[in-house]
Amino acid sequence: MSSVSIGDVYLVRVRYQDDPTNFKDRPVVVVAISSDSVMVVCAAITSVGPHTPEKYYGKFKFPIQQWAKANLTKPSWVKTHPANLLRLQSQDLTRRIGTLHPDDLSALINFMIESSEES
């Protein structure tokens, strides 16, 4: 596997919490990498935006403005709540599909810092 970078978008096989025998290939964005590059922290990406009226987890969804440039197929949001972050081995990253635009990555990092103060 080529080197993994923060902001890369990958497909990852994610098991359903209510039925661990089933899974879904889901896009994720890498938000942290261990110093030895063995472990990564990823945030799931969803095409479901915040509900109206907004529910608790909705305030932790970050809108990807330039989703097409990240090779996503439809408008998407990053699920940034700490409970939704995935801690994976880098070998679990199935296929790289793109990279967040630098503006989106910078805004995502700022959003995660601000959101962590609220969680």
Q: Residue-wise pLDDT tens for the chain (119 aa)? A: 568 999 999 999 988 878 889 988 999 999 999 988 889 999 999 999 888 887 888 889 999 999 999 999 999 999 999 988 999 998 999 899 999 999 999 999 999 998 877 65
Beta bridge partners of 25: 13
**Alpha-carbon distance 55 to 57, whole Å?**
6
Domains and CATH numbers, the chain: 8-118 (2.30.30.110)
Residue 101 confidence (pLDDT): 98
Residue 14 confidence (pLDDT): 83
Q: What are phi and psi of 89, to 5 degrees?
A: -80, 145
**Alpha-carbon distance 19 to 65, whole Å?**
32
Residue 119 confidence (pLDDT): 55
Residue 43 confidence (pLDDT): 94
